[in-house]
Amino acid sequence: MRVVLVTGISGSGKSVAIKVLEDDGFYCIDNLPVRFLQEVIGSLAQAGHDRVAVSIDARSGASVADLRSMLAGLVHRGHDVKVLFLNARNETLVQRYSETRRRHPLTAREPQASHDGSRTLLESIERERELMSSIEDLGVSIDTSDLHPNVLRKWVRDVVGAQRAPLTLLFESFAYKHGVPLDADLVFDARCLPNPYYTSELRPLTGQDEPVAAFLRGIPSVQRFVDHVGNFLHTWLPSYIQENRSYLTLAIGCTGGQHRSVYCVEELAQRFRRTEHVLVRHRSLSQRTKVDQARPG
């Protein structure tokens, strides 16, 4: 099993690291107490998991010092173990906590804290540095003070050797009379195209049927529409991928969601299936199928 331990100072980006590893197919566990590490890894290995990422922070207290021997035990059992230690300057951490308005995990009341029994933010940070200092040299240390989150994501992938999970490109047709779908990232309006609805023999069919497809395929403006949408997506898809998106939904609508939008979605999906992971959904056709199934006879 590949085991990635993400640890370090709270506020330095551990959540970003865990999320990018989860997106890349790792089974992720956040804030696992140190004493459960070997037991959990053993159970996940028996369950067939081959890539696991675990986040451990200073809330484990003095037992953090036991990580060194525990990780050595995991290596002895044949696991490939990598450690990421994320750090940041005090002023950066203070600014991040100020922006998020979250409490530091070590601000809990303790006898050795300040006069009122609780720690200030800076006292909590310094206490955490003290607790985590014993394991800072276990793996790769990354100072995230001046890093943009996207840069940190790239560095995490580089260190771990993880490949980015492919973006899922979802093409979706819909009917404007039912409203624009909320999950759409890009929306294109096909109501400007000639409508097969007004050809009596095509009216009961859909854009998935060959007579409708042949009708629309023979209209130059329809082909220009599909070409322009496809060219737009070819041009900007790399930029969406760089933003670490897992899904991109492109929706095309027409009046009833039955002919033009369905045809255009099927054409675009066929083009992009050669290079991308593609899904197709036809909202209005699904609704029509449910209505038809509910009718007697």
> Residue 42: which of 59, 54, 31 has the closest Cα?
54
Burial of 173 (0-12, 13-18, 19+ CB in 10 A): buried
Same domain flag for 47 and 88? yes
Do 140 and 25 fall within a single domain? Answer: yes
Domain that holds residue 77: 2-160
Identify the CATH number of the domain in which residue 92 sits.
3.40.50.300
Q: What's the pLDDT tens digit per position in 91-123?
A: 999 998 888 788 888 876 454 544 555 678 888
Express each pLDDT in 154-202 by its tens digit.
889 888 887 766 788 999 999 999 899 988 999 999 999 999 999 999 9
Q: How many CB atoms lie within 10 A of CB 109?
A: 10
| 194 and 145 within one domain | no
In order of 65, 66, 69, the CA distances from 76 in angstroms are 18, 16, 10
The pTM of the full predicted model, rounded to 2 decimals, is 0.62
The answer to whether residues 205 and 228 belong to one domain is yes
CA distance 10 to 132: 10
- Find the radius of gyration of the CA atoms of the chain: 27
Six token digits for residue 84: 């990421």
Task: Count structural domains, the chain.
Answer: 2
Query: Roughly what angle, to the nearest 10 degrees, separates helices 149-160 and 14-23?
Result: 60
Q: Which residue has the tokens 């629309």?
A: 216
Same domain, 138 and 176: no
* pLDDT tens, N- to C-terminus, the chain (297 residues): 899 999 999 999 999 999 999 988 999 999 898 889 999 999 999 999 999 999 988 877 667 888 888 998 999 999 999 999 999 999 999 998 888 788 888 876 454 544 555 678 888 899 888 888 888 888 888 999 988 888 898 889 888 887 766 788 999 999 999 899 988 999 999 999 999 999 999 999 999 999 999 999 999 999 999 999 999 999 999 988 877 677 899 999 999 999 999 999 999 999 999 888 899 999 988 665 443 433 333
Same domain, 181 and 136: no
**Can you say whether the dihedral through the CA atoms of 38, 43, 44, 50 is positive or negative?**
positive
Do 143 and 259 lie in one domain? The reply is no
Query: Given its phi and psi angles, is residue 27 left (phi above 0), alpha (psi -120 to 50 degrees) or beta?
Result: beta
Q: 160, 189, 207: which is the final residue of a domain?
A: 160
CB atoms within 10 A of CB 212: 23
